[in-house]
Amino acid sequence: MLKIVQAPNPVLSQKTKEVKKIDKSILKLLEGMTQALLSAKDPVGVGLAAPQVEKSLQIFIAKPTLKSKNQVFINPKIIQKTKISHLTTDNDRGQQLNDISTKKLPANPRQTKLEGCLSLPNIWGEVKRESEITVSYLDEKGNLLTRKFSGFIATIIQHELDHLNGILFTKRVLEQKGTLYKSHKDEKGEDVFEELEI
């Protein structure tokens, strides 16, 4: 199975290359990425970009819920942003989700949703993302699609597109003058969040 690399692996800060042809090697990569994403359990993975498995290609997959079908995005581009930025406030039905991830800060009365990343374990932060985007991309069969996405899936897509441009979500948090948190498990096995000093 493909291994998900951790920051500061240099592949995570490189711009990816366009996929010229969807051949057997690309399909095999997609299969490996899907297995790697499904194997992420605490928290559950909802998206994975090719650089996270050390392939510098414009590919990512998204799976917003446990029951949703895996979606493949090859050479994706945002062609329209139709809503103003907001903090991620998806209805994730209580699931713990990662890369992207959403976790609730227990001590925060606003129930802030936090982004995380499988390549940055136990690091979380608030990120402002567009709530609705239109994306042009190829699927695994080579079909060119243009679709509008909103809510949580739009957040996942923007997080993964950042990966394709060599940007980790922590950079977005810092640009937006947000707060980063580190999590660990307490004696009951529940997540505890501590603010990181930057």
Q: Supply the residues annotated as catalytic.
A: 160
Strand, coil or helix: what is 164? helix
Residue from 64, 63, 70 nearest 27 by CA: 70
Q: Which residues of 35-62 are buried (b: 16+ CB within 10 A; e: fewer)?
A: ebbeebeebbbbbbbbbbbebbbbbbbb
Q: Are 35 and 53 in contact (CB under 8 A)?
A: no
Strand, coil or helix: what is 114? coil
Question: How deeply is 152 buried, as exposed, middle or buried, from its count of CB atoms within 10 A (0-12, 13-18, 19+)?
Answer: buried
Q: Which residues contact 109 (CB under 8 A, 6 or more apart)?
A: none
